[in-house]
Amino acid sequence: MLPLKYIRQNAELVRQGMAHKGIETERLDQILSLDEELRAKIAHTETLKAQRNRVTQTIAQLKREGGEAQDKITSMAELSREIKEIDQGIQILQEQLHTHLLWVPNIPHSTVPVGSDASANRLVSTEGELVTHSFAVQDHLELLTALQLVDFEAGGRIAGRGFPLYTGKGARLERALINFMLDLHTQERNYTEIFPPFVATRQTTELTGQLPKLEEDMYVTTVDDLFLIPTAEVPLTGIYQGQVLSEGDLPLRYAAYSACFRREAGSYGKETRGLLRVHQFNKVELVKYVHPDASYDELETLRVDAEEVLKRLGLTYRILELCTGDLSFAAAKCYDLEVYAPAGEQWLEVSSCSNYEAFQARRGNIKFRRKDTGKLDYVHTLNGSGLATPRLLAAILETYQQADGTVVVPEALVPYYGEETLKPA
């Protein structure tokens, strides 16, 4: 969340940032108008309260001196009623402002390329050679079926379309991927493993920026008003809401596996074949709480940590720096990692590594105490997928398929999967 004072003092910068993210700025005008009205009411009620205090003192003096104070008492009662009405109006304005502020996005960092959509994203680098095969390749859905790794029909009978059922070797391979990534991040990259709840309160989901903007894309248990998490970013970022950390605690780095749930309302007509777009999927998430002075250095190391998974698996990938129009609501800067899937000659996003600066911390009131001054300041939060498994599995199958219909298991996964080859039944 952007501070109201910052918006007031930097209205045109905020307006430009919203426009660059493709977000209408009408709400900004409403905020500025409500803010002006609120400050006027606060000033008026403070004047009235000062006047009431003077009347109270006069009444006390009259009573001490034996004078008549009834007129003053009546006057004070009228002042109190007026102050109460104004205070009620102030509360209403504050609630309206808070609601509007939740819809104001984070402002893109000055280094982010300006553009309206993904076509303006900047290619940072491509790692590895584009894989080609000397035989007629199968796409990942054909391979999933031939190898009997996922039963989409059974998943559909259980929960509906978009809920894959991993079976036998597929379930074991999925578990191998998750364990491999968790071990890499916790044993070699200095992250602390967390196994979080897969539901979160409205307050927790709001602090990360999913709510209110993305509510229609989320699954919610209406009785308890708990949201099925779309990513472990939500519970991991919610760990310290309302807490004060010491400067010496920073940075804090967490890695967590979770199932992720996304309704993806309005995404009909997009690519839904196989595992490319599903409503439930598995992901290892990385979240950092860092010192504001170090957050952009930490973004670069976060990206390197996510890249390491792709390097260990021997997959070709590329790094994109997202333009303003492709940034998420809460992000100030973001890199996407896309892995190459040779069957369709396409790039599949498997990670987004984002710096939210203090945007989420303000929503969640997550602060640290500076050693030199003892003053409180907001931490910066970052997160990145490390990685999501569905498209990662698709790329592995398409990259390592053989002419005889088998798939070679990447060397880094063999100790976790237990075999070197996936074979048709």
Active-site choice (295, 351, 352, 385)? 352
Closest CA to 381 of 241, 280, 273: 241
**Which residue type occupies 334?**
C
- Quick check: is 172 catalytic? no
Q: Is 349 a catalytic residue?
A: yes
Alpha carbon distances (Å) from 321 to 29, 124, 419? 31, 7, 37
Q: Which residues contact 293 (CB under 8 A, 6 or more apart)?
A: none
- Amino acid, single-letter form, for residue 177: L
Q: Report residue 197: phi and psi, to 5°.
A: -60, 150
Q: Which of the residues 52, 189, 253, 262 is marked catalytic?
A: 262
Check if 68 is active-site: no
CA–CA dist 92, 35 (Å, integer)? 12
Q: Angle CA(67)–CA(69)–CA(72) in degrees, nearest 5?
A: 145
Q: CB-based contacts of 27: which residues, under 8 Å, 6+ apart?
A: 100, 103, 104
Q: Is 174 a catalytic residue?
A: no
Query: CB of 260 within 8 A of CB of 283?
Result: yes
- Give the other-Cβ count within 10 Å of 307's Cβ: 21
For the chain, what's the residue count? 425
Q: Which of 338, 351, 391, 398 is catalytic?
A: 391
Residue in this structure with the two tokens 């990513």, named with its chain if needed: 231
Which residues fall within 8 angstroms of residue 179, CB to CB, at 6 or more apart? Answer: 416
Which residue do the tokens 């892995």 mark? 339
Given the residues 37, 142, 264, 349, select the one marked as catalytic. 349
Judge whether 46 counts as a catalytic residue: no
The one catalytic residue in 8, 175, 277, 369 is 277
Q: How far apart are CA 93 and CA 80, in angstroms?
A: 20
Task: Report how far residue 50's alpha carbon sits from residue 43's, in angstroms, rounded to the nearest whole number.
Answer: 11
Residues labelled catalytic: 262, 277, 349, 352, 391
